[in-house]
Amino acid sequence: MNLQGTHGSNGRFGRFGGRYVSEVLMQVLIELEEAFESYYPTVEFQRELGVLLKDYGGRPTPLYYAKNFSELIGCKVYLKREDLLCGGSHKLNNSLGQALLAEKMRKKRLITETAAGQHGISAAMAGNVLGLEVEIFMGIRDMERQESNVKRMRLLGARVTPVKTGSGNLKDAVSDTLREWATCTRTTHYLMGSTVGPHPFPEIVATFQSVIGKEIKEQIVEKEGKLPDAIVACGSGGSNAIGAFRPFIGEDEVRLYFVEGGGSSLDADNSAAAFVLGKPGILHGAAMMVMQDEQAQIKASKTRAVGLNYPARGPEISHLCETRRVESGYAFDHEVFEAVRVMCKTEGLLPALETAHALAYVLNHHDEFDQDSILVVNYSGRGDKDLETIAGYFYGN
């Protein structure tokens, strides 16, 4: 099974992936693929990216043995602390990489979309570092829900453009960013935020995020002398999960768990669990598992975790789950809030609502892991951005 690298396969992961876009975008995608293949492997690019990740981003992030949380679960749980990456989530790994690539390609401007605002912030940061203008498309409803992150992006000098089409969330923001890109491919790079979209985006984002998994591998061997028994990560498009999983995909003894947003229930219109409720379809330039209605129209997803509120799963995670290399699960909103409370209490850490899905899954499934098991949870982001929502849930507004 060839899972790493997609050269010559037109960006296919099994039956998923591909490049289903308007003719206007074809040429720039080919140009991007060629640029990525020629710059990324060079010593110079690796050195520049390495310095940025280390000195600006703060990598490597620690692998923390969460002793108190472990006692509760009944096995050893390590947290890969992507919340400590500058900006507060794993998103900067990809943004620095793509911004550097865009600069090499002599683009002047970055455009992107954001939901929770974490990717938008990382894009604004990376754009400033590399001297590129930044415009961020954000669903109008997400702008209300993640107001503090909107302020941060604006403070960093990014232009934040509200997206009013559709239901005003991530799906619509991606569509509008693709539309904007069609008008300005010659000067502008679309800094895709997750392992979604037309080829080569899923491959590029996965490559830049796999620094997470590479570090996990080194750190766990150093601490435990062996590979973990399981890795758990949350996701929708899948960038933090793929980043953590990639170096372990060929290690069959390491179980991989992907946790999506269950929403309030699995009933119609209340969930973001595309692996439960979706089927193969085409959205935003790729074949993916996607939630759709009987008229073949894409359905809006729903979850309190804005960053998981996307109705499709990226091509690679779609393929890994279809072939059962990765097991998919979900957590409901109320379980997620409970997981936030548990993490605050046991470890004094406030996780992002997205990250708390992975924690909730571990709490729900703790009896599947025996006492000697070593678990790594990709602790993808911190929860400061969700403070209002979380406080509102527990104490009322």
Residues 190-249 that bind another protein (CB under 8 A): none
State yes or no: residue 296 binds another protein (CB under 8 A): yes
Among 123, 287, 305, 356, contact with another protein (rule: CB under 8 A): 287
Among 20, 45, 56, 65, contact with another protein (rule: CB under 8 A): 20
Question: Which residue intervals of the chain are DSSP H helices?
Answer: 23-39, 43-51, 67-73, 91-104, 118-130, 140-145, 147-155, 170-182, 201-209, 211-224, 239-245, 274-277, 315-322, 333-347, 353-364, 387-395
State yes or no: residue 178 binds another protein (CB under 8 A): yes
Sign of CA dihedral 140, 272, 342, 114: negative
Among 26, 155, 221, 266, contact with another protein (rule: CB under 8 A): 26
State yes or no: residue 23 binds another protein (CB under 8 A): yes
Among 81, 119, 152, 284, contact with another protein (rule: CB under 8 A): 284
In whole angstroms, how far apart are CA 151 and each of 25, 99, 144, 160, 246? 31, 22, 11, 9, 34
Residue 91 bears catalytic tag: yes
State yes or no: residue 165 binds another protein (CB under 8 A): yes
User: Which region among 15-23, 35-43, 58-66, 268-276 touches another protein (by CB under 8 A)?
Assistant: 15-23
Among 6, 16, 18, 332, contact with another protein (rule: CB under 8 A): 18
| Beta carbon of residue 22, minimum distance to another protein (angstroms, whole number) | 4
State yes or no: residue 7 binds another protein (CB under 8 A): no
287 half-sphere exposure, CB direction, 13 A CA radius: 11
Burial per residue of 140-151, b for 16 or more beta-carbon CB atoms within 10 angstroms, e otherwise: ebbbebbeebbe
Number of residues in contact with another protein, rule: CB under 8 A? Answer: 38
User: Which region among 96-104, 234-242, 287-295, 354-362 touches another protein (by CB under 8 A)?
Assistant: 287-295
Residue 52 or 163: the one with the smaller Cβ distance to another protein is 163
Burial per residue of 295-306, b for 16 or more beta-carbon CB atoms within 10 angstroms, e otherwise: eeebbbbbbbbb
Residue 48 bears catalytic tag: no
Element (H, E) at 326: strand 326-332
State yes or no: residue 22 binds another protein (CB under 8 A): yes
Q: Count of CB atoms within 10 A of residue 221's CB?
A: 12
Rounded to 5 degrees, φ, ψ at 254 are -90, 115
Is residue 32 within 8 Å of 38, Cβ to Cβ? no
State yes or no: residue 358 binds another protein (CB under 8 A): no
| Beta carbon of residue 240, minimum distance to another protein (angstroms, whole number) | 24
Active-site hit among 80, 91, 299, 302: 91
State yes or no: residue 294 binds another protein (CB under 8 A): yes
State yes or no: residue 140 binds another protein (CB under 8 A): no
How many Å apart are CA 333 and CA 72, to the nearest integer?
21
State yes or no: residue 21 binds another protein (CB under 8 A): yes
Is residue 286 within 8 Å of 20, Cβ to Cβ? yes
| Beta carbon of residue 283, minimum distance to another protein (angstroms, whole number) | 6
Residue with tokens 């080569």: 200
Active-site hit among 70, 95, 210, 380: 380
Is residue 175 within 8 Å of 184, Cβ to Cβ? no
| Beta carbon of residue 108, minimum distance to another protein (angstroms, whole number) | 16
Among 149, 185, 210, 328, contact with another protein (rule: CB under 8 A): 185
Residue 384 CB partners (closer than 8 Å, separation 6+): 88, 148, 350
Among 184, 227, 344, 350, contact with another protein (rule: CB under 8 A): 184
| Beta carbon of residue 19, minimum distance to another protein (angstroms, whole number) | 6
Residue 328 bears catalytic tag: no
How many Å apart are CA 32 and CA 191, to the nearest integer?
11
Binding site for another protein (CB under 8 A): 10, 18-24, 26-28, 165-166, 171-172, 175, 178-179, 182-186, 279-285, 287, 290, 292, 294-298
Kindly list the catalytic residues. Answer: 91, 113, 380
